[in-house]
Structure 1
Amino acid sequence: MEKLTFVIPTLLGVEGLTANELRRMNMEGVRVENGRVFCQGGPQDIARLNLQLRTGERVLILLGTFPAQTFEDLFQGTRALPWDNFIPKDGAFPVKGFSLNSALHSIPACQSIVKKAVATRLGQVYHQETLPENGALYQIQFSIMKDVASLMLDTSGAGLYKRGYRAVGVAAPLRETLAAAMVLLSGYRGRDPFCDPFCGSGTIAIEAALIAKNRAPGLNRTFAAQKWAWLPSQVWVDGAGEAMDLEFDGDYDIWGGDIDPSAVRIAQDNAVKADVEDLVHFEVADARSFSRQEPYGRIVTNPPYGERLMEKQEAEELYRDFGRATEGLPSGWRINLLSSHTEFERTFGRTADKKRKLYNGMIKCDLFQYDVKRGKKGRISG
């Protein structure tokens, strides 16, 4: 098989991190667009990417791209692609996708045209008028942007943020891929003490443990392409072996606290499911009285926004109290807080040293990054 082109969708603001991951994996032709990253590789990389990527949302194979201003364009362009190289005669091939700034804006109509075009090609190749679709899943995705259609196959199945460890969550959970991005943006690599004072179901601390250990986040789950007939099962064995060979051993100081005892119990259970319970310590704690004495460390946290879980005024009081608590930290600490609150810096008590735009689902947020520095009165100062 010739080289495959992969499309890795990402959360907005995370594309550069995903591109760096791909380069570290020695993928070729890494290219970044808004909300997605492209690269090239072989069939074995289907396993490697799905198992190892921390910040990508899923792994898609790009079958082709072509202009599509009419339904006839979409039908003929889709039918011309080599679907029979990937989908067997019993393969199930549902279709989903989206259209932006294009003449073809009806998603159901586009789904129907793509489905008919693929069925037409497969029916001709397999000499069948009706395809049974009772075999493995070959999810087709399309995107039509500015009248250019891209047709893809989804190798992942469930999104890559579904690591398999969070069977039970708490309200307003943070997506695992975003948690990993926050940890990476903080610069944490396992050497410093690491704290999440608003840990909720433990996602940030667990992702920090996976990063510290260099443990592949996909080892505890399955993927759609594992059932694909043309992809040898050995690539998954080899991919898992490579991932496990990359793991580190070490002692890490990773802590998560939450004022809600039930959230802490869930976080502890999730750490067990992620096989990092020996690396992370969770306890019931009030972030408003947070303190640490170590000379350096990192805080990465996602406090309530005041949009769903708390009223805005309550959230502001919490930010203010937590800001005061961090005034007592030694000057080697770095603080990273994700919030959608437009007045966060004012209520926290200091302008961030850096800000990074990220999206938590559809909520536009900023990652506020602070280097703790001691002022004359002990307050955090610029």
Structure 2
Amino acid sequence: MSDELSAAGDILLDVNDLVVHFPAGRRGLFGKPSKVHAVDGVSFRVRRGTIVGESGTGKSTTAQAVMRLIPATSGQIVFGGENIAEYQGERLRLARRKFQIVFQDPFSSLDPRRRAGDLVREPLDLLGIGTAKERDARVSQLLADVGLPPQAADLFPHQFSGGQRQRLSIARAMAPEPDLIVCDEAVSALDVAIQAQILNLLKKLQRERGLTYIFISHDLGVIQHFCDELAVMYLGKIVEQAPASVFFSAPRHPYSWSLVAAAAPPGPLRNRLKAQFLVTGDPPSPVDPKPGCRFAQRCPFVIAKCREELPLLEATGPAHFVACHRVDEIASPDFTDATA
């Protein structure tokens, strides 16, 4: 997976075999301790200046582990050529200048007792960036960059609309001039019109500042029009990874077919695709998952091998990787009209 992707450009983030397990108690009084396999051997690379989208179970846990907000059980998180998974204390605090996160709910992620200007300035104060005068000027510029008026600096978070609060969160994330911003469901709590405004703002800032985004979302429609590259996760594993244009015209994994079918525009085509490809039922528990493909329990194309052996993420085309034992046996449907 790595060689083809690294040839495409300068790698900013290289995540290798990332594992995040959480304890889940014991099965019975004398049973072995169980674990939630939230992220189970995830690897991906992010090129500088691109926008990568993720969809599926395990996505937010992956983001939080990459941001070092939760501990990784094992694996490497190589950012700017250094394994930040090993950073601790002051070294980690200073490294955070280069990677920031925008959360789903701006109201709960902003301190309601502090004014907007102070919230944006806080990363500059904590990291010792610039003089007091330079920090004040930067706060004013950041508020303007995200489309907020100068007087917004004196307001509290509850005095903003949802879209304005998310703009404030973006300004705060941009304050230390990071190279990478993770947007964790950053527009899912907003209505469609405000979503478009925030996405346009993020695109504008990316062009002007050369930012790199990891954009995590369950909304394939948003990902299709925003991201350059895409990775689909299911139960802690990446099952498909490809350039967005390739993925939406020719997805190769059965779970991807289900996602695209569900996101198709309303009408006869969507009804046909949903009847043909949409999976039903709940995903299996991530606690001590069974051997084999994580999607085997719901896949309409499952065979015995799928239940016994975990498929590897392997190349099926230029920068296109799929984890499926039957990827070369099952004809891929044409989703072009469904994603236009």
Q: Taking CA–CA contacts closer than 8 Å with sequence separation of 6 or more, which of the two structures ends up with the larger relative contact order?
A: 2
TM above 0.5 = no
Q: TM-score normalized by structure 2? A: 0.30
- Specify the structure having the higher radius of gyration (Cα): 1
TM-score, normalised with respect to structure 1: 0.27
